[in-house]
Chain A
């Protein structure tokens, strides 16, 4: 199911400069204003720890999305 609170959180962070600054310095204080589940909070915090705010293409984003191939095919 979709999470209204998660949508509202991201909209607020990306649409309001003051909230964005607060989130970047103290994400938990912003999360406390929204009715997120514990798993949603963890997802937000983990994403922030790994990637910060995802505002453009970056090597970090590519790494997060592109798992290394497990196999490399080569001809015998």
Chain B
């Protein structure tokens, strides 16, 4: 516990001043999280379990992280519009708590990580930890009042979080229901990641703009920026799932596989069907499947789609800049 509390986040030199600024934001976020965890501080073991998923240095959208500090987005967006962000810190804590809860639930659902809370303490304890994190996220929204945020804005933040995280849960349900469906279409895949992943980043950007008192048009532009950023991030994760082999071993059907199944026939198609159809129990050779996906252009296609959403996010940043908001730090999310 002491070690976890003592984690200090050092800025990466590549990000220079932005790194120092992000370190400050992260420290403020950590302080806010400690305030929220204070009611359970006397139960050292429970407190420690709650901290574990929260103290990751950088959060990703699902199992893999791509090193981006998503929970800081409300602060970065709020500051880019209004020049200050102190009152938005509970909103960042909300996103951090919800993403941490999502990670714990993902681990329970996947049941494939020996390092997960679920594996170490069992699914019942992990479920209770994730449920507590969600409840604390609600308390974090209420703490916006302490920071001087007006009631009507707090209600809008709460409504936005509930609405977009309901989408995320529905998307997760689709993902769980369809991840073994060999006939899943690209449209369904895109709809699933829109709901499951993009809605979470959209939410972080939306509430950041809301807390900056931006007009609705600018709030919507930031939300769309977050949406496209989230799409690009999830497709990146899915490509890495193939290049690292993890999604091949799990027989998880993501964009490269959907493309490959649609564009092949004959032996290559049969090989993919045998690999990704969970009803079959064929021996897997991940290296061979990975090579096949590269050879037929499936990784190239997914990379172009990732770039497509990245470009859309960059275009929206141009609109945001035109509206007078700063974009320098937001661009770092697209590097």
Contact = CB atoms under 8 A, between A and B. Distances in A.
B10 A74 contact: yes
Interface string B293-324: 01111011101110110111001000000000
A70 B58 contact: yes
Interface of B is mostly: helix
Contacts of B58: 69-71
Contacts of A43: 304-305, 307-308, 310-311
Contact of A47 (B69, B259, B303): B303
Given A10-B297, A65-B243, A68-B67, A40 B10 contact: no
Interface string A54-76: 11110001101111111111111
A25 to B, nearest CB: 17
Interface in B8-26: 8-12, 14-15, 19, 22-23, 26
Interface residues of B, number: 51
B262 interface: yes
Interface stretch (B35-43, B85-93, B185-193, B278-286): B185-193
B168 to A, nearest CB: 21
A57 B12 contact: no
A54 B69 contact: no
B8 A14 contact: no
B102 to A, nearest CB: 20
Contacts of B146: none
Contact of A69 (B8, B57, B301): B57
A7 interface: yes
A18 interface: no
Contact of A67 (B6, B68, B297, B303): B68
Contacts of A73: 7-10, 57
B22 A71 contact: yes
Contacts of B305: 6, 43
Given A7-B262, A40-B308, A64 B303 contact: yes
Contact of A70 (B8, B19, B312): B19
A36 to B, nearest CB: 10
Interface of B: 3, 6-12, 14-15, 19, 22-23, 26, 57-58, 66-69, 185-187, 190, 236, 239-240, 243, 259, 262-263, 290-291, 294-297, 299-301, 303-305, 307-308, 310-312, 315, 332, 335
6 contacts: A7-B263, A14-B300, A61-B243, A70-B22, A70-B332, A71-B58
